[in-house]
Amino acid sequence: MSAATELQHPIGPHTVEEWRNAEHPSDGGRLELIWGYFHVSPPPGGPHQYATGALYRALWDAVRAAGRKDLHPVLAVGVEITTALRTALIPDVAVLNRPPTEVSYPAEALELVVEVWSPGNTSRERETKVAAYAAAGVPYLWTVEQRVRGRMEYRAYELVGGVHKERVCGAGDDVLVDVPGPVALTLVCADLDPER
C-alpha cells in the first residue's frame, strides 16, 4: 500500500466523545461525525420530514400491533457507530431494542435505521453511512430517495455476511407486503410522498 493510498481516508481529529459533548445546531440541522470530521447538514425540508413521519408512524403501528414492548421507534437520535473510526450518525428514524432514555445510543441498540436521502446528500456521504451501518452490525436499513417532481423511491436492506443486501424496492403506487425489518409491516409507497 502506498503512502498516497493510506492517506485517502485519514481519520480526523474529533472523537465520538467530543461529538457527544459538542453543541448541536439549534435550528434543526444535524451534527454528525464521519471519520473524525464534523458534518453539519441543514434542517430537513418538507418532503423529507413528510416521508420520515410516514415511516415512523408505520413502524410505530407495526411494533404496537405485534405487541413488541422490547422495540422502540424513535426519530433522529444520535448513534455511536464506531469509536475506532470516529463515526457517530443521526438516522432519520431508528428502532431501538432498549427504552429511549438516553441522548445517544451504541450501535448494538439498533434493530433498524432509516435514512431519507435529500438531494444534497452526496453519493460519498450515502456510501459512507451505509458502510458504517453494515460494519456496526445494524440488522436492517431502509432508505428513501427523494426524486425530482416529488417521487419517492423506497428500498429495504437486510444485513447478510456483513453487507446490506437489497430485499425490497418500490415507488409510486407500489404496495410492499412483509417489508424486511424487526416487525412485519405493509408499506404503501404513496404514503411517503406529500404530493400524492
CB-based contacts of 86: which residues, under 8 Å, 6+ apart? Answer: 11, 12, 14, 15, 16, 33, 35, 36
Question: 149 falls in which pLDDT band (50, 70, 90)?
Answer: low
* 3-22: pLDDT as tens digits: 444 445 588 999 999 999 99
Q: Phi, psi (5° rounding) for residue 187?
A: -120, 130
Percent above pLDDT 90 for the chain: 67
Q: 165 vs 8, which has greater pLDDT? A: 165
Give the three cell numbers for residue 60. Answer: 410505530
Cβ atoms < 10 Å from Cβ of 181:
25
Check the CA dihedral 60-122-87-6 and report its sign. positive
What residue ranges do the domains of the chain occupy? 45-192
Contact (Cβ atoms closer than 8 angstroms) between residue 78 and residue 92? no
CATH architecture of the region 45-192 = Alpha-Beta Complex (3.90)
The pLDDT assigned to 151 comes to: 73
The pLDDT assigned to 195 comes to: 82
User: Strand, helix or coil at 152?
Assistant: strand
Q: Taking residues 139-160, what's their average pLDDT?
A: 87
* 33-70: pLDDT as tens digits: 998 999 898 888 898 999 999 999 999 999 999 999 99
